[in-house]
């Protein structure tokens, strides 16, 4: 795989597949990546993706940022120990691809990377400004973030710029047709995310 045409040549596109079966496992991988990738960079975005390979349907992780690219083998070594299982890693940068790990897991990583690059699917777990809006805030504040295109409510609920949303330290927009949309629903006092962090017990405080 070469760097997709909609990803600038200076952008590093990385994906990891460990065969996790749910969002909790994927969130744990994202948390581990926080420690080995430039997660504090303003261009850093990490997302989780539903993929299907010879291992069956599962969840993989992808990330992108502007900067230096790590070697796939080095990243695999950094993750394999803490995860204690097989890892597939794919790194694409400047038109080149570097991969390491079992072929089936590399295939899953490639599928996640393609979704991430095309913004066709995936839920954003890390993006610039996330921590600043993980509280009670106005819809306009969320939509002002570069990484979020819109806040949309379930059918029958109106949302305006001044509508308050209680993100409660949990904001996971999803990519749909190239747009990052945060879906919300009515809560006790304010609108709340459609996906609750309490549904994700592993690493829910990260």
For 99-117, the pLDDT digits (tens) are 999 999 999 999 999 999 9
Query: How is residue 57 written in tokens?
Result: 């349907």
Using alpha carbons, list the distances in angstroms from residue 5 to 20, 68, 121, 122, 200. 29, 19, 17, 19, 34
Domain count, the chain: 2
Same domain, 57 and 110: yes
**CA 55/CA 178 separation, integer angstroms:** 27
Q: In this predicted structure, what is the pLDDT of residue 198? A: 58
Same domain, 121 and 21: yes
Q: Per-residue pLDDT for 204 more than 50?
A: no
Same domain, 179 and 152: yes
Q: Which residues pair with 136 in a beta bridge?
A: 166
Same domain, 43 and 138: no
Taking the model in full, what pTM does it have? 0.87
Same domain, 68 and 135: no
Q: What DSSP character marks residue 4?
A: P
Structure confidence by residue, pLDDT tens digits, 182-197:
999 999 899 999 887 6
Q: Residue with structure tokens 């390491």?
A: 100
Last residue of a domain, one of 77, 107, 126: 126
Q: Per-residue pLDDT for 6 more than 60?
A: no
**Average pLDDT for 169-179:** 91
Q: Domain range for residue 176?
A: 130-199
Structure confidence by residue, pLDDT tens digits, 157-172:
889 999 999 998 789 9
Same domain, 78 and 175: no
Last residue of a domain, one of 73, 91, 126: 126
Predicted confidence band of residue 94 (pLDDT cuts 50, 70, 90): confident
**Average pLDDT for 167-184:** 92
Helices 23-34 & 72-83 angle (0-180, nearest 10): 120
Last residue of a domain, one of 74, 107, 126: 126
Same domain, 72 and 165: no
């Amino acid at each position: 795989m070469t760097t997709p045409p909609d990803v600038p040549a200076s952008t590093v596109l990385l994906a990891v597949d460990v065969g996790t079966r749910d969002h909790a496992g994927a969130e744990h991988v994202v948390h581990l990546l926080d420690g080995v990738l430039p997660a504090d960079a303003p261009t850093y975005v990490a997302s989780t993706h539903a993929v299907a390979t010879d291992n069956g349907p599962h969840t993989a992780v992808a990330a992108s940022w502007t900067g230096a690219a790590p070697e796939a083998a080095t990243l695999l070594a950094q993750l394999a120990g803490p995860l204690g299982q097989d890892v597939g890693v794919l790194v694409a940068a400047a038109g080149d691809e570097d991969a390491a790990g079992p072929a089936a897991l590399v295939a899953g990583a490639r599928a996640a990377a393609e979704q991430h690059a095309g913004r066709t699917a995936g839920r954003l777990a890390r993006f610039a400004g996330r921590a600043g809006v993980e509280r009670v805030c106005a819809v306009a504040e969320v939509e002002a973030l570069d990484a979020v295109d819109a806040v949309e409510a379930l059918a029958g609920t109106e949302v305006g710029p001044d509508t308050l949303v209680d993100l409660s330290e949990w904001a996971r927009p999803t990519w749909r047709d190239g747009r990052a949309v945060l879906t919300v629903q009515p809560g006790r006092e304010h609108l709340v995310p459609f996906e609750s962090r309490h549904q994700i017990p592993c690493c829910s405080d990260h």
